[in-house]
Chains A and B, each alone.
Chain A
Amino acid sequence: MKEEGIELIKDGKRLDGRGFDELRPIKIEVGVLKRADGSCYFELGDNKVIAAVYGPREMHPRHAQDAKMAVLKYRYNMAPFSVDERKRPGPDRRSVEISKVSREALEPVIIKEFYPKTEIDVYVEILQSDAGTRTAGINAASIALADAGIPMKDLVSSVAVGKIDGEVVLDLNAVEDNYGEADMPIAMIARRNTITALQMDGRMTKDEFEKGLKLAMNACQQIYELQRTALIERYSEM
């Protein structure tokens, strides 16, 4: 949808050598920050993100408290050096929207009723960006919440699918995102096929949408296993 003139698929392979349904390499480290109640470092290809969770802690201002449950807050923030052209520090419209969508992606699994009048803060910092940062952030945040001991019904896993050179492919990198025709980030509770975040921009047919959804569901299963393994490894060390 954005620019023309770059061949993104050659001989059935993508520029970085991946197949259409292949994720970039993922690396997960749990409990990487000392002061936070829970934290996670997550790499997805060239994306490097870190998530921290604080709370449940008393909510301020008090009038914003919910007498029945904890309030979840989520801040997605890009480091100024995380992108080619320096990003001006602080929230912009994109990050405000991503924060909202990401918070809603995680809310369905958190048992907020256990901690009335409190807030749970999730902070996600994008240290290096290569498309798919919001999905990496959600994956990291989900693990960090578990690491903080927040009661959860399940983990949330997230990935983007998109359309490049007319093909529906998994997990676009920055070049593919810039020159591709559509991008669709998805978050889901992988074990229940329940979608907790879904956005789409660009242009695709209903069939392509369905195909993308299937690709994302498969990938989220894989990501879920990696998240789970990372948590188990972390806590079997201790």
Chain B
Amino acid sequence: MGLEIMDEVRRDYTYNLVRRGKREDGRDFQDYREIKVEKGIIKRAEGSARVKIGNTEVLVGVKLEPGEPFPDSPDKGVIITNAELVPLASPEFEPGPPNEDSVQLARVVDRGIRGSEAIDLSKLCIEEGEKVWIVFIDIHVLDNDGNLVDAAALGAIASLLDIHIPAERYGLSGKGEDMIPMQDKPVAVTMVDIGGEILVDPNYNEERAAVSGLTVISNTDGTLSGIQKYGREGLEEDKVSEMVDIGIEKADELRRKFL
């Protein structure tokens, strides 16, 4: 009960700040926290990246293994995205099977990469109908101070760039591409609505104070490759349009800086 009251006080505080045009960390509404992307930090993974957005920290690792293609796309590689909200990252996370938050996180990141056709899956075929490369994108959350989606999506695409396919390890040297063939760089931008204001890159407290939010994933040419709305309240149609515009613009900034 005590915690619930603190939670409510905290939410009111965040809300009232926003109503006065401010954020608790002094950012403008459309500013990200400081972002750091560090690539290639896990030696055992084919690709990896640690992304920090403020205090939020996510580690993404990409592994490749040969495996069976899906029956409906026998000549295409496969992407499998998974997210673990491990209990080390937040007092709210519990061990156990994936819950709806981790499933959603993985699926939204996956959708962005798939929708943009960031990976040319047709070039990841080893033997049609028999063997293709399976690209495992594993998102490991280390510290949750809000906006896991943008950190995970950025980590995923950063990890995927410049990946050598481990053909040798599986006795498949000389078959197909040396590198994962990348065609685009989708970037996710998440916003929340607090008291009618749009806040980009919500931190944990802002996420808690918000009643709705939107992730917009867009590509190098400004097209959209994924959208997801969150929250227990609706968003006006014109607000959604505005968020999509902001999302495309911010994604372009992030792409130039970090990818």
Contact = CB atoms under 8 A, between A and B. Distances in A.
Interface in A1-25: 1-3
- Using C-beta atoms within 8 Å of the partner chain, give the interface range for chain A: 35 or more
Interface string A193-205: 1111111111111
A209 B244 contact: yes
Interface residues of B, number: 37
Contact of A104 (B111, B231, B236): B231
B103 to A, nearest CB: 5
Residue of B226, B234, B240 with most partner-chain A CB within 10 A: B234
A93 B103 contact: yes
A88 B231 CA distance: 29
Contact of A201 (B98, B226, B233, B240): B226
Interface string B49-81: 000000000000000000000001100000000
B241 A200 contact: no
A194 B237 contact: yes
Contact of A100 (B73, B100, B226, B244): B100
Given A99-B100, A108-B234, A206-B248, A213 B225 contact: no
Contacts of A188: 234, 237
A144 interface: no
A196 B239 CA distance: 12
Interface string B215-259: 000010011111111111111110011001100100000000000
B237 A203 contact: no
A213 B240 contact: yes
B203 interface: no
A158 to B, nearest CB: 12
Contacts of B237: 188, 193-195, 213, 217
23 contacts: A1-B114, A1-B115, A3-B73, A94-B107, A96-B100, A97-B104, A100-B100, A188-B234, A193-B236, A196-B229, A198-B214, A198-B229, A198-B235, A201-B225, A201-B226, A202-B115, A202-B225, A203-B115, A205-B223, A206-B222, A206-B224, A213-B240, A217-B237
Q: Which 9 A-B pairs have the closest CB atoms?
A: A194-B234, A200-B227, A198-B229, A107-B232, A196-B234, A100-B100, A96-B103, A108-B234, A193-B237
Interface of A: 1-3, 93-94, 96-97, 99-101, 104, 107-108, 182, 184, 188-189, 192-206, 209-210, 213, 217
